[in-house]
Structure 1
Amino acid sequence: MADFNEELAAHLEGGLTTVCHAWAITRKDGEVFAFTDHDMPLSFAGLEFRADTGLSALALAQSTGLSVDNSEALGALSDVSLREDEIEQGRFDGAEVRAWKVNWADPSQHWLNFRGHLGELIRADGGFRAELRGLTEELNRPLGRVYQKPCSAVLGDGTCRFNLAQDSYSQTLPVQTVEGGRRFAWQDFLSFDADWFTRGRLEILDGPAQGLWGTIKSDRIEDNVRIIELWEPIRGDVATGTQLRLVAGCDKRSETCRLKFNNFINFQGFPDLPGEDWVVSVPSSTNVNDGGSLR
Structure 2
Amino acid sequence: MRTRWFDRPLETIAMLWRVERHDGIVLGFAAHDRDLVVDHVRYHAAPGMLPSAIEMDDGLDPLDMDIAGALSHDLIRSDDLAAGRWDHAAVRIGLIDWQVPGEGAGWFWHGHLGAVSIEGHRFSAELRGLKAQLDQPFVPVASPSCRAEFCGVGCGLSRSAFEHIATVDAVSAEGLAFTGMDEAPASGFVHGSMRWIDGGNAGLHADIVGSTDAGLQIDGPLLRAPAPGDRALLLQGCDRSLATCAGRFGNALNFRAEPHLPGNDLLTRFAVL
TM-score by length of 2: 0.83
Change (3 A) 1:235 1:160: farther
**Counterpart residue number, 1:197:** 189
Secondary structure at the aligned position of 2:45 is classed as: coil
| Alpha-carbon distance in 1 for matches of 2:241, 2:222 | 28
Shift of 1:255: 0.9
**Counterpart residue number, 2:219:** 231
Secondary structure at the aligned position of 1:244 is classed as: strand
| Alpha-carbon distance in 2 for matches of 1:87, 1:274 | 43
**Counterpart residue number, 2:131:** 136
| Alpha-carbon distance in 1 for matches of 2:163, 2:197 | 13
User: After superposition, where does 1:213-232 map in structure 2 within 5 Å?
Assistant: 213-221=205-213, 226-232=214-220
Of residues 6, 24, 29, the one that matches 1:9 is 6
**Counterpart residue number, 1:268:** 256
Shift of 1:144: 1.9
Alignment gaps of 5+ in structure 2: none
Aligned residue pairs total 271
Of residues 32, 57, 64, the one that matches 2:51 is 57
What residue identity is the alignment partner of 1:91?
R
Shift of 1:190: 11
| Alpha-carbon distance in 2 for matches of 1:30, 1:191 | 30
Please identify the structure whose Cα radius of gyration is greater.
1
Conservation of the 8 A alpha-carbon contact between 1:209 and 1:238: yes
Shift of 1:242: 0.9
Change (3 A) 1:5 1:178: same
**Counterpart residue number, 1:176:** 169
Of residues 227, 235, 238, the one that matches 1:247 is 235
| Identical pairs, percent | 28
Q: Over aligned residue pairs, what C-alpha RMSD do you find? A: 3.1
| Alpha-carbon distance in 2 for matches of 1:126, 1:203 | 29
Conservation of the 8 A alpha-carbon contact between 1:214 and 1:233: no
Shift of 1:250: 1.3
Of residues 245, 258, 270, the one that matches 1:257 is 245
| Alpha-carbon distance in 2 for matches of 1:239, 1:186 | 11
**Counterpart residue number, 1:292:** none
Shift of 1:157: 0.8
**Counterpart residue number, 1:160:** 155
**Counterpart residue number, 1:77:** 71
Q: Say if 2:92 is the partner of 1:98.
A: yes
Q: Which runs of 4+ in 1 moved over 6 A?
A: none
Secondary structure at the aligned position of 1:139 is classed as: helix
* Per-residue CA distance 1:96-143 (angstroms, 9 max, x = gap): 222224454555596433222111212232332122122211111112
Of residues 137, 144, 153, the one that matches 1:149 is 144
Change (3 A) 1:30 1:109: closer
Change (3 A) 1:253 1:53: same
Change (3 A) 1:72 1:191: same
What residue identity is the alignment partner of 1:65?
G
Secondary structure at the aligned position of 1:195 is classed as: helix
Shift of 1:17: 4.3
TM-score by length of 1: 0.78
Change (3 A) 1:202 1:105: closer
Change (3 A) 1:276 1:120: closer
